[in-house]
Structure 1
Amino acid sequence: MSPHTLVSDPAPDHDVPANVCPVMHGSAARTGTTPIYTKTREDESMRQALKLLNPIRDDFRLADYAESFNWAEISAEFQTQLLVHADLPPKADSAPDNWYAVVFRSKRRTDCNNVDLFEADRNAYREAFSSTNGSLLMYWYTELDADDNCLATCVWSNRELARSVNMLPAHREAARLSAGSYVHYIIDRVCITWLPDEARLDVKPWPTE
């Protein structure tokens, strides 16, 4: 499998600027203030479990998200982490019982400015993490393959918070730079749900509106 980078800390230190894909959350504009986020047992358990994320097939950049990663291992770790973080408050009954993931698949232009793209990506991550008080649970990206394909993915505590950062300054700059950086790109939204009766995470496309 190819090298990849996991970012799950508030002040990331990316080391591979030539291979970064930008954080993309959706096309909806930000309106009003960012929703308030409070750390929960489930979210912190998911943050820790996702540190194990690894591809299980060579074509993961192009293949189905649910079939490309070690979700069984992550599910087992999530269950363990629920015990570790038992002192944290659980999600409110009114809160969504799932997590919102964004999958960004791209083919990089050979003449794009990788340094500027790298800086914009790093700034967008920091902005997303700080402006939502840590609702961004994970950001993971891989190096380019031989055909300049890349995959980046991020997981959020919920969709509302993910969409709230789209019009913040660093995200607007990342979007501006990305417009001319790729031959093409595809953005998929994914719903990750914990099924306690089956002790596993269910990974499927986000329901259409």
Structure 2
Amino acid sequence: MGALDFLSGLVPEWPFGAPVKPSDDGLEPTSAAAAPPPSSEILPPDVVSRTATADDLKFHAAASRQVPGIGEPVDPSIIDAVDLSGRLHGHHNHLLVASPYVDEDHLLDLDTLSRPNQLLAKALTVMNARTREYAVEPYVEAFNWGEIADALRKLARRESYMYPRSEFYIIVFRSRLPSDADREHLGQLDKDAHLEAVQSGQLLKYWFGTPHPDTGRNLATCIWRHRDDAKKGGSGPGHVRAMEAVRSIYLEWRVERLKFVVEENASSWSIEKWID
């Protein structure tokens, strides 16, 4: 169940939504059948949705299976499946698993993004909490930002692309739920709001954890191209209902607005406070 995110301000907004030794180009297929598609493509979302649990997606970066060479290798038996075998070459896969929701309507359409945003969205599939205390750790220490930057550099280098200096809008929602909260209901509200955010466009990643069984503390976060996109994505009725639940159910909630700054050629990165 995802934590219900809340953006402060008068305008309703929803914050979104065994290693293989690499070869010289960063890829080493395990078999001919498992050969990856061209570098500009990704594997079908089925390689994630068929095998990954919600916990795999939240805590083990299972979405990275879609992007060859930057995360978990794909089990060849999955790719050998009849309904996948003809879809790896000569077909442009453009739907990316960018949240713990794997229904097709919740997938990110890479064709709607500019090239820098496409590459970052792919790199963000490796996003993972670095510690069990992610809900209370400083944000920059809670996630594997160094690995994300490494993946971004690898993807840009693979496409011979000079990545431009870029800034991305981050929302962090820290919360505490009562032990008797109806988490199934809250989860449905979260899913509805994420769908609205996806449909608005430019939501590159949505990550949420699981409320601690004793303290109820949790963290959810989303990465957008820009704050204006977050405003647009948080204006629907699903977000309004979710905000009402935040106010009436959560024991505590706190929002942080940050930015992820990537320097030219992804040579370095930083997490800074967002200032309008």
TM, length-normalised to structure 1: 0.76
Structure 2 partner of 1:6: none
Shift in CA distance, 43/28, structure 1 to aligned 2, threshold 3 Å? farther
Work out the CA distance in 2 between the residues paired with 1:163 and 1:97: 19
Structure 2 partner of 1:124: 193
Structure 1 partner of 2:66: none
Q: Kindly state the Cα deviation for residue 139 of structure 1 after the two structures are TM-superposed.
A: 0.5
Tell me, yes or no, if structure 1 residue 97 matches structure 2 residue 79: no
Work out the CA distance in 2 between the residues paired with 1:105 and 1:67: 15
Tell me, yes or no, if structure 1 residue 183 matches structure 2 residue 251: yes
Tell me, yes or no, if structure 1 residue 65 matches structure 2 residue 139: yes
**Bigger RCO of structures 1 and 2 (CA < 8 A, at least 6 apart):** 1
Between 61-70 and 189-198, report the one with greater CA deviation. 189-198
Correspondence 1:159-174 to 2 at 5 A: 159-174=227-242
Structure 1 partner of 2:6: 24
Which runs of 5 or more structure 2 residues have no equivalent in the other structure? 13-110
**Residue identity in the other structure for 1:98:** E
CA contact (8 A) 1:27 1:166 kept: no
Work out the CA distance in 1 between the residues paired with 2:251 and 2:178: 5
Correspondence 1:103-118 to 2 at 5 A: 103-118=172-187
C-alpha RMSD of the superposition: 2.4
Q: Kindly state the Cα deviation for residue 151 of structure 1 after the two structures are TM-superposed.
A: 0.6
Partner SS for 2:128: coil
Work out the CA distance in 2 between the residues paired with 1:106 and 1:38: 32
Q: Kindly state the Cα deviation for residue 167 of structure 1 after the two structures are TM-superposed.
A: 2.5
Shift in CA distance, 190/23, structure 1 to aligned 2, threshold 3 Å? same
Higher helix share: 2
Q: Kindly state the Cα deviation for residue 113 of structure 1 after the two structures are TM-superposed.
A: 2.1
Work out the CA distance in 1 between the residues paired with 2:188 and 2:160: 37
Q: Deviations over 1:56-113 (max 9, x none)?
A: 23322111111221111110101122245669xx88xxxx931001001001012222
CA contact (8 A) 1:45 1:85 kept: no
Q: Kindly state the Cα deviation for residue 206 of structure 1 after the two structures are TM-superposed.
A: 1.1
Shift in CA distance, 24/44, structure 1 to aligned 2, threshold 3 Å? farther
CA contact (8 A) 2:168 2:223 kept: yes
Structure 1 partner of 2:211: 144
CA contact (8 A) 2:153 2:265 kept: no
Larger Rg, first or second structure (1 or 2): 2
Match 1:80 to one of 148, 151, 154: 154
Partner SS for 1:161: helix
Q: Kindly state the Cα deviation for residue 54 of structure 1 after the two structures are TM-superposed.
A: 1.4
Which runs of 5 or more structure 1 residues have no equivalent in the other structure? 1-16, 31-36
